[in-house]
Amino acid sequence: MDYKKSDMGRAMTIAIMIGNGEENGEENGEMEGHEGHMGEHIKLAPAEEDYVEAMHEIVSEYGKLADNDGNGIWVGYVSARQNKDAKIGVKCSNCAFYCTMDGSCHIVAQKIEPNGVCRLAAIGDGLVKGKRK
Ligand code: SF4
């Protein structure tokens, strides 16, 4: 798959991935750099790719997630101001679910910030630098 496709092409791929978990699975067979819905800078380990795919399937079935939404998954979003790990790269903008086109999250319903984070984060390989203080 061409990872350097246009924003429109990426948006269409996002819609497919969010809207249809099975098609998503087929696409993921060649997912390097987690193309399509995230920035090209996000590279995931194989298990993390499976996690991302599973979360897309969950969102496809139940909708985007929020704390206390009845789906039983605690998002635990932390704002940019509260996120002490943003400095080392643990933040939304380094997460595979972050949409570089509009700054939204593909799996979390609420408005997010690039330097925020939640407990569902899938941070790309090599994007966490240093240790938590
Ligand atoms: S850290 Fe959480 S809220 Fe932020 S982009 Fe990733 S999944 Fe979404």
Tally Cβ neighbours within 10 Å of residue 91. Answer: 24
Given ligand 1 and candidates 113, 117, 123, 127, which is best to mutate, with the most ligand atoms within 8 Å of its CB? 117
Q: What is the pTM of this model?
A: 0.73
Distance in angstroms (rounded) separating the CA atoms of residues 9 and 42: 18
The reply to whether ligand 1 has any atom less than 6 angstroms from the CB of 86 is no
Given ligand 1 and candidates 38, 55, 93, 95, which is best to mutate, with the most ligand atoms within 8 Å of its CB? 95
Residue 37 pLDDT class (50, 70, 90 cuts): low
Residue 8 burial class via C-beta count within 10 angstroms: exposed 0-12, middle 13-18, buried 19 and up: exposed
Q: Supply the pLDDT for residue 11.
A: 35
pLDDT tens digits, one per residue of 43-99: 999 999 999 999 999 999 999 999 999 999 999 999 999 999 999 999 999 999 999
Mean pLDDT of the chain: 78
What three-state secondary structure class fits 117? strand
